[in-house]
Amino acid sequence: MNKQTKLTRTGINALTSPFRWIIVTGIIYFIASGRVDILRAWLYIGVYIVGSLINSLLFMKKVPELLNQRGKMQEGTKKWDKIVIVTYFLFAIVVTPLIAGLDYRFGIFPLPYNLVYIGLGLYVISDVLSIWPMLHNPFLEGTVRIQKDKGHKVIETGPYSIIRHPGYLGMLLGSLPIPFAFGSALSFIPVIIMVLLVFIRTYYEDKTLMIELEGYKEYSKKVRYRLIPFIW
């Protein structure tokens, strides 16, 4: 860990939150499904935990100060973002595994076992796309605000030279694994809502930065795409 920056209570909260999320997700899914011996679910949970452990070690070494900032909603967070992010995580942690578990229990729209590997692949890709921006952008807090207290400026290196919101691309792809991993086509319904929320958040953050962050309009002319290269 960086000797000059120690993790605060909020930093520890940010570091441990993925583990708490997957525990809650797993509990809800297994209760709703009525079983705990579902191999595909345990496989996904195991890969998720290993990925989170790797992330934790990397973040503690490379960006401990950013972790300290990401552990809570900072003063100045946009009101619309509070609504979007709370709704997103409610669907991600509660609604999606609940529907997936009920789908598994009653066999409404089950998916073949081998699709679990698509879920695992999506998780790995989303994880990489979530980590990469954090290593380049010291202003990548967990919520949307203009960080005047930190000298907020435009970042143009790494993934930001390709799209303007690479972290949200990781978030978008990270919304997709559960139906494949837990074997539930029905859970695509809340996942679609999560994907729409990512697009909404991207749109409003981009609009906010255009208005409030110096140099962002010029940056948007150089990097044309917000979220998906060559599309939007």
* CATH number of 30's domain: 1.20.120.1630
**Section 12-28 average pLDDT:** 95
Neighbours of 62 (CB within 10 A): 14
Say whether pLDDT at 212 is over 50. Answer: yes
Q: What is the pTM of this model?
A: 0.92
Q: Is residue 227 part of a domain?
A: no
Sign of CA dihedral 24, 25, 31, 34: negative
Domain that holds residue 165: 9-222
> Which has more pLDDT, 74 or 39?
39
Name the β-bridge partners of 184.
110
Q: Is the residue at 101 inside a domain?
A: yes
Q: What CA–CA distances, in Å, run from 173 to 2, 113, 117? A: 30, 20, 14
Asked whether the beta carbons of 191 and 96 are under 8 A apart, the reply is yes
Tell me: the pLDDT tens digits for 100-120? 999 999 999 999 999 999 999
Asked whether residue 17 is domain-assigned, the answer is yes
Residue 230 lies in a domain: no
